[in-house]
Amino acid sequence: MSKEKVVLAYSGGLDTTAIIPWLKETFGYDVVCCCIDCGQGDELDGLEERAKLSGASKLYIENIVDEFCDDFIMPCVKAGAVYENKYLLGTSMARPAIAKKLVEIARKENAVAICHGATGKGNDQIRFELGIRALAPDLKIIAPWRMTDVWTMQSREDEIEYCRQHGIDLPFDTKHSYSRDRNLWHISHEGLELEDPSVEPNYDDLLVLTVPPEKAPDKPEYVTMTFEAGIPKSLNGKRMKVSEIITELNKLGGKHGIGIIDIVENRVVGMKSRGVYETPGGTILMEAHEQLEELCLDRATYEVKKEMGSKLAQVVYEGKWFTPLREAIQAFIDVTQEYVTGEVKFKLYKGNIIKAGETSPYSLYNESLASFTTGDLYDHHDADGFINLFGLPLKVRAMKMQELSKENQK
């Protein structure tokens, strides 16, 4: 009789390597590893050999970079979705994309369970599990770090020793470094000195994608981008797909010290955590998109869109991607993007993105209206009646307060 299968979300790191023999020993499962490439670069080198050596029966390496960019990143860019005014959702957007692929592989392999290595303190356990539940409610979910009765390892040393006992002698080190998560959009850092909010980050040690602004070039660099219906189409005159544009913007932004965020954020599980995020290309893309929206969106739509963007950020941060609410917000956002088409120009200089002009065939900016010598469309006398009506509630209340004040003085 063949063994039941479990699909393991596998990164090749120490945690998920130790989980392979643990799953076999604890549950008797046949372990199918699935590493999902969201643009984490050379972290994927040598995974095949490592997974097999650790006892996995199979390893999938699934490249979902373009799907991640088109179906997960771009809805958030178009919405201007930023969590707590700073965090550009790099990890939050990737988790539902990964969950979707894990479910696909589980179905293909006829697996009965999906296992992930997220801890019991973080947001990722929620994002993975809400995604899996929404797409495959029948699959079992195994989260070793929450199963303290059967998962007894407490430290890196414990995990390395466990691996050795099971014939897995890999070059893992015992020193604690930053806890990082990387994909095409960003890299996050937690741990070490960042655990004390009073301590300045050691940027020389910490940064991977970018440089501190003071080490950026002394000369600014101009960048031109075009958008069609809210989606970036070209960079400096060259048409590219979204993933290529983000890759190039990462290089440009990294060179000029763009997109470093140090934040104490409110996790879903109720605690505050401090992290540093590097999002060089994403910061530029969000800013360029918003720059064009200023021209193309009317005031009332823009106002509601800002609220919807903030709501979407919360929904995505909390792992609720596969919900009717996210679909409804995204549908609203897509309507607002129909005419967000045009060109933006800006310069990058020591951590800053400085506007240098924008044009759109759908621009609502009217030069004759906006100039001091207004034309036929605007009669200054109209402002009299407008201000009278617009300010009427204030005036009525002030008159009432005046009247009451006089009565009290009698």
Residue 124 designated active-site: yes
Please give the Cα distance from 113 to 116 (Å, whole number). Answer: 10
Residue 95 designated active-site: yes
Residue 388 Ramachandran class (φ > 0 left, ψ -120 to 50 alpha, else beta): alpha
- The continuous run of DSSP H or E covering 65 comes out as helix 65-67
Residue 173 designated active-site: no
Please give the Cα distance from 69 to 39 (Å, whole number). Answer: 10
Are β-strands 260-266 and 272-278 bridged in parallel, bridged antiparallel, or unpaired?
A: antiparallel
User: Which tokens hold the place of 315?
Assistant: 């929904």
Please give the Cα distance from 39 to 42 (Å, whole number). Answer: 9
Q: Which residues contact 89 (CB under 8 A, 6 or more apart)?
A: 76, 81, 82, 83, 313, 316, 317
* Contact (Cβ atoms closer than 8 angstroms) between residue 137 and residue 99: no
Strand partners, 264: 274
Question: Pick the catalytic residue: 11, 15, 54, 127?
Answer: 15
Question: Pick the catalytic residue: 57, 179, 243, 273?
Answer: 179
Question: Pick the catalytic residue: 95, 127, 182, 274?
Answer: 95
Residue 70 designated active-site: no
Question: Pick the catalytic residue: 50, 54, 92, 124?
Answer: 124
Instruction: Give the catalytic positions in this structure.
Output: 15, 95, 124, 179
